[in-house]
């Protein structure tokens, strides 16, 4: 960048200049930037300062500072205010797993096992430092650049939470909470309205791994349901299928899933066991886990797009003054366009006036052969489940994330005075009974719904 260009480019904190937009959400934009001192490329996340409903960037800064320096998490560089916006500057990373999934439609077992082992290690690292992610999905699992192109990273901590205080005390169990997360990958506890913990991150990971293996999940693209009904019905289907989700996969997957589902709220997951079982699955099928993914072997293929900046403007963004910068960001914000799998850093969650969060959780699949096979898979898991529910060809829907008290202040770690359920012996029986009652009720509702549809 020559001196004349630099003088016209907006610089934050007298150090970070904007080059071009990478992605955008309803109230945030992610730009490719450069540290004008070190010449290193960075990701610059911009959020409107007047956004008081969610303050996801403020929460993300808190979490990133906790995780800063840990392997597998973006490095934190700077955050502050400029032109009425909150700014976050972090390490620039490469493609997210959603990008590669879009290219390949599904992953082979070697790639899925490699992803699983890395992801479990990352979650263990975050959990040991007191952080639960609470919104794990392919868009938030991203690979590095250069020498780290095969190294997995976790990003987007806008709705993450610190689950331990400075003395190491675990947060209390709560119920009757609003749904939080991405419906497709959320844990059953999220659907039941329970406080989320470490085991819920791992349960979400198992749904993601199954998604990568099969190309689609049984509860995707439900037909004839509203967005409000969809979250409930997905939870019901997850409950009804929990004992056979991984029926057609190596047995280690169902064993891991069952172990995760049995965990109590505050119980520490056995991360070592999970990794051992994933490695055991590889060994039983003579799969060599060398750290490479299947797309590493087909990068030269003409149909596989590897250009990091593909479909993005190659022109630097230049501004003669601060007003030009502000108008440009306003234009990006008003568009509320998210570039899906092109994300280098996932944009902030979408906000609504009613303190709810929406995130896009649907992707059209034009491969009719694949749709047919997924429909057969749905029916193989549950013969009474109608194919039309599995194979909604309309495709594009949005998940609803309802958290009535999602403000940053409400999530402060100092709030530890709520009622706590004891997780030992007979004292926990009321919670078990309550869970079983909810579970039976969901299954009854599901059966009644299916009977109505067959009529």
Spatial separation of the C-alpha atoms in residues 330 and 343, rounded to whole Å: 20
* DSSP annotation string for 369-410: HHHHHHHHHHHHH-TTS-HHHHT-TT---EEEEE-TT-STGG
Q: What is the 3-state secondary structure (H, E, C) of 284-297?
A: HCCCCCCCCCHHHH
Spatial separation of the C-alpha atoms in residues 370 and 214, rounded to whole Å: 9
Contacts of 254 (CB under 8 A, 6+ apart): 244, 245, 246, 247
The pair of structure tokens assigned to 113 is: 């096992």
Contacts of 323 (CB under 8 A, 6+ apart): none
Instruction: Give the active site residue among 35, 68, 82, 135.
Output: 135
Strand order in the sheet with 85-91: 11-12, 16-24, 28-35, 41-48, 85-91, 76-82
- Output phi, psi for 311, to 5 deg: 65, 10
The overall longest dimension of the chain from CA atoms, in Å, is 73
Spatial separation of the C-alpha atoms in residues 132 and 338, rounded to whole Å: 25
Spatial separation of the C-alpha atoms in residues 96 and 79, rounded to whole Å: 23
Spatial separation of the C-alpha atoms in residues 233 and 125, rounded to whole Å: 33
Is 35 among the catalytic positions?
Answer: no
Tell me how crowded residue 421 is: count the other CB atoms within 10 A of its CB: 17
Which are the catalytic amino acids?
Answer: 135
């Amino acid at each position: 960048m020559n001196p004349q260009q630099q003088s016209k480019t907006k610089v934050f904190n007298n150090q970070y200049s904007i080059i071009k937009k990478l992605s955008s959400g309803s109230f945030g934009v992610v730009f490719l930037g450069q540290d004008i001192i070190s010449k290193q490329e960075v990701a610059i996340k911009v959020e409107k300062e007047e956004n008081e409903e969610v303050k996801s960037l403020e929460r993300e800064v808190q979490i990133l500072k906790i995780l800063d320096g840990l392997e597998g998490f973006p490095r934190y560089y700077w955050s502050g205010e400029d032109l009425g916006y909150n700014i976050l500057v972090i390490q620039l990373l490469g493609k997210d797993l959603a990008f590669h999934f879009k290219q390949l439609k599904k992953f082979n077992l070697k790639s899925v096992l490699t992803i699983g082992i890395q992801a479990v290690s990352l979650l263990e690292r975050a959990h040991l430092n007191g952080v639960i992610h609470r919104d794990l999905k392919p868009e938030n699992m991203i690979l590095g650049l250069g020498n780290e192109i095969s190294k997995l990273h976790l990003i987007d901590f806008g709705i993450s939470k610190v689950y331990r205080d400075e003395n190491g005390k675990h947060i209390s169990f709560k119920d009757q909470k609003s749904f939080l997360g991405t419906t497709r990958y959320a844990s059953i506890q999220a659907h039941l309205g329970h406080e989320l913990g470490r085991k819920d991150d791992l349960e979400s990971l198992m749904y993601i791994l199954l998604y990568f293996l099969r190309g689609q999940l049984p509860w995707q693209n439900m037909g004839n349901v509203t967005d409000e009904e969809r979250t409930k019905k997905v939870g019901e289907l997850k409950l009804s299928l929990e004992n056979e989700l991984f029926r057609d996969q190596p047995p280690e997957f169902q064993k891991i899933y069952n172990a995760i589902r049995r965990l109590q709220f505050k119980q520490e997951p056995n991360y070592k066991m999970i990794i051992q079982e994933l490695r055991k699955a590889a060994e039983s099928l003579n799969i060599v886990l060398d750290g490479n993914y299947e797309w590493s072997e087909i990068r030269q293929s003409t149909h596989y797009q590897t250009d990091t900046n593909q479909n993005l403007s190659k022109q630097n963004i230049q501004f003669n003054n601060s007003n030009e910068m502000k108008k440009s960001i306003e234009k990006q914000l008003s568009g509320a366009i998210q570039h899906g799998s092109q994300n280098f850093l996932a944009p902030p969650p979408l906000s609504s006036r009613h303190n709810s969060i929406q995130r896009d959780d649907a992707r059209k699949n034009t491969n009719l052969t694949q749709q047919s096979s997924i429909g057969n898979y749905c029916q193989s898991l549950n013969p009474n489940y109608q194919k039309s529910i599995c194979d909604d060809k309309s495709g594009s829907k949005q998940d609803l994330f309802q958290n009535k008290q999602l403000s940053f202040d409400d999530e402060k770690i100092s709030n530890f005075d709520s009622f706590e359920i004891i997780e030992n012996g007979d004292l926990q029986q009321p919670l078990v009974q309550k869970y079983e009652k909810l579970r039976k009720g969901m299954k009854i509702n599901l059966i009644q719904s299916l009977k109505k549809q067959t009529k």
